[in-house]
C-alpha cells in the first residue's frame, strides 16, 4: 500500500485552479522530492495532505486515511514542517518541544528523553534554554523540524525545509533527512534542485497544478536530459567565443546555445557529431580554450526542459 496516494485532486480558489487533476503515488520509506515553479500548487498539495485545507475534488490518502474526506486518523502519524513555521517567542526550544510532545500524549519520562534527543539532532541542544524570540530564521527552521519529528511520524511533510539555512546548516539538515530513509516516508517540497538531487529517491515535477512527470532521479536523467557541452575561455576573450557560438545556431545538430560569462553552453541533438566537430571548429576559429567538457546532465537541466526557464510549459 502506498504511503501517499492522490487521485484526480483538484483545488480552486474562485476562478483560480491551483490543482488540476493531480495524481501521485509515494511508496513507504521513500524520500520523495516535489518540484515545481512558484504557483505550481506544491504548498496547496501539502496543505491538503496534512489536513490544513480541503480539496475541491478528488481523493487523497495518507497512511491509509482519506484526508480529502476529512479523515483525522492521519494527524497522529504525520509530521509537518511548513515553509515559515510559527512559534511562541517567549518559550524556549525545550519548553516548545515539550509542549508538542504533551499534545501527542507522551508521558513525562518519555518527553524528557525525546526533547533532548530531538534538539541535539537539529543542532539546538546548546541553546535549549534560550528564548525562541531571539532566534534567526535558520534556527527557527531547525526547531520546526524537531517539532515535526516529535511523534516519530510515518509520513513527514517538509515544505522548503532548508531554504533559510546557511550552507553548513543545509548540509547538516539534509544529512538528517537522509538518515530518515526507511524510517518514515519523507515528502519534501523544495526549489533548491541540488538538495532534491542529493537526498531524494523519487522526484515529481509539477506545473500549473498538473503532474508533468514522476520517476527516480536516474530515470529522469535518462528520459529527459540532453547532452551539453561547455567551452570556456579567458574573460577577455569571451566576445570571440560568443561570436563563434552564434555561428553554430543554424547547424542541425545544435539545439540551443547560451553564453554565461566566459562559458559557452551548447545543447546538442547528436552527441557523436558534436564530439567530432566542436573542438576542431573552435581551434580553427583561433579560440584559446581553458576548458572543454561534455557535462553530466543535472536535475536542473531536466526541470528547465520540462517547465521552461520562466516556469511556463
User: Does 209 lie in the same domain as 233?
Assistant: no
Query: Worst-scoring range by mean pLDDT, 141-150, 257-266, 298-307?
Result: 298-307
Residue 302 domain flag = no
Alpha helices in the chain (DSSP H): 42-49, 93-103, 108-121, 137-148, 167-179, 193-199, 217-224, 238-246, 271-284, 299-307
Interval 55-89: pLDDT, tens: 999 999 999 888 877 666 677 889 999 988 899 99
- Domain of 203, CATH number, reads 3.40.50.300
CA–CA distance, 163 with 167 (Å, rounded to integer):
10
The answer, as to whether pTM is greater than 0.85, is: no
Give the CATH number for residue 286.
3.30.70.100
Question: Which one of 139-153, 157-171, 297-311 scores highest in mean pLDDT?
Answer: 139-153
| Final residue of a structural domain among 196, 222, 248 | 222
**Is the model's pLDDT at 267 over the cut of 60?**
yes
Residue 308: inside a domain: no
Examine the pLDDT at 203 and tell me if it is beyond 90.
yes
Is the separation of the CB atoms in 98 and 88 below 8 Å?
A: no
Same domain for 291 and 212? no
pLDDT at 96 over 80: yes
Q: Do 241 and 141 lie in a common domain?
A: no
Q: Would 77 be classed as within a structural domain?
A: yes
> In which band, very low, low, confident or very high, does the pLDDT at 312 lie, cut at 50, 70 and 90?
very low
Domain boundary among 195, 222, 249: 222
Structural domain total, the chain: 2
List the single range of 18-32, 59-73, 232-246 with lowest mean pLDDT: 59-73
Q: Provide the pLDDT confidence category of residue 39 given band limits of 50, 70 and 90.
A: confident
Same-domain check for residues 214 and 240: no
What does the CA dihedral 244, 245, 248, 249 come to, rounded to 10 degrees? -140
In a domain, 42, yes or no: yes
Question: Is residue 70 domain-shared with residue 203, that is, in the same domain?
Answer: yes
142 with 251, same domain?
A: no
3-state secondary structure of 91: coil
pLDDT at 38 over 80: yes
Model confidence at 313, pLDDT cuts 50, 70, 90, reads: very low
Lookup: cell for 172 = 547538516
pLDDT tens column, 104-153: 999 999 999 999 999 998 889 999 999 999 998 888 988 999 999 999 99
Place of cell 547547424: 251
In this structure, are 146 and 255 located in the same domain?
no
Within a domain: residue 310?
Answer: no
pLDDT at 72: 63
Task: Determine the structural domain holding residue 284 and report its residue range.
Answer: 226-296
Half-sphere CA count of 47, side-chain side, radius 13 A: 14
Grid coordinates representing 28 are: 513507504
Label residue 69 left, alpha or beta by phi (over 0 means left) and psi (-120 to 50 means alpha). alpha
- Classify residue 305: in a domain, yes or no: no
212 lies in the same domain as 69: yes
Do 44 and 148 fall into the same domain? yes
Is 135 in the same domain as 171?
yes
Is position 238 within any domain?
yes
Q: What is the mean pLDDT of residues 261-282?
A: 92
Domain edge (last residue) among 222, 249, 276: 222
Residue 313 placed within a domain:
no
Tell me: do 126 and 253 sit in the same domain.
no
* 218-234 confidence digits (pLDDT tens): 888 878 877 889 999 99
pLDDT of residue 81: 94
In terms of domains, do 88 and 181 share one?
yes
Amino acid at each position: 500500500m502506498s504511503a501517499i496516494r492522490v487521485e484526480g485532486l483538484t483545488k480552486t480558489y474562485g476562478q483560480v485552479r491551483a490543482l488540476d487533476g493531480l495524481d501521485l503515488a509515494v511508496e513507504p520509506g521513500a524520500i520523495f522530492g516535489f518540484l515545481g515553479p512558484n504557483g505550481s500548487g506544491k504548498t496547496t498539495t501539502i496543505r491538503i495532505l496534512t489536513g490544513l485545507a480541503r480539496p475541491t475534488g478528488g481523493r487523497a490518502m495518507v497512511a491509509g486515511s482519506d484526508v480529502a474526506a476529512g479523515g483525522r486518523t492521519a494527524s497522529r502519524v504525520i509530521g509537518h514542517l511548513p515553509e515559515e513555521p510559527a512559534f511562541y517567542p517567549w518559550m524556549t526550544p525545550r519548553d516548545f518541544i515539550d509542549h508538542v510532545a504533551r499534545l501527542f500524549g507522551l508521558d513525562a519520562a518519555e518527553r524528557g528523553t525525546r526533547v533532548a534527543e530531538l534538539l541535539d539532532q537539529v543542532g539546538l541542544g546548546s541553546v535549549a534554554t534560550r528564548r525562541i524570540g531571539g532566534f534567526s530564521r535558520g534556527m527557527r527552521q531547525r526547531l520546526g523540524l524537531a517539532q515535526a519529528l516529535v511523534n516519530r511520524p510515518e509520513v513527514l511533510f517538509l515544505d522548503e525545509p532548508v531554504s533559510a539555512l546557511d550552507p553548513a546548516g543545509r548540509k547538516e539538515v539534509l544529512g538528517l533527512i537522509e538518515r530518515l530513509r526507511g524510517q518514515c516516508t519523507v515528502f519534501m517540497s523544495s526549489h533548491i534542485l541540488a538538495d532534491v538531487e542529493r537526498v531524494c529517491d523519487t522526484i515529481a515535477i509539477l506545473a500549473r497544478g498538473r503532474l508533468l512527470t514522476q520517476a527516480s532521479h536516474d530515470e529522469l536523467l535518462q528520459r529527459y536530459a540532453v547532452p551539453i557541452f561547455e567551452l570556456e575561455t579567458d574573460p577577455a576573450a569571451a566576445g570571440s567565443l560568443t561570436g563563434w557560438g552564434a555561428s553554430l545556431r543554424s547547424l542541425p545538430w545544435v539545439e540551443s546555445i547560451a553564453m554565461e560569462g566566459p562559458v559557452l553552453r551548447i545543447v546538442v541533438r547528436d552527441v557523436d557529431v558534436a564530439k567530432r566537430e566542436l573542438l576542431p571548429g573552435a581551434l580553427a576559429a583561433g579560440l584559446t580554450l581553458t576548458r572543454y567538457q561534455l557535462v553530466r546532465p543535472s536535475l536542473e537541466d531536466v526541470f528547465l526542459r520540462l517547465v521552461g526557464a520562466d516556469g511556463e510549459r
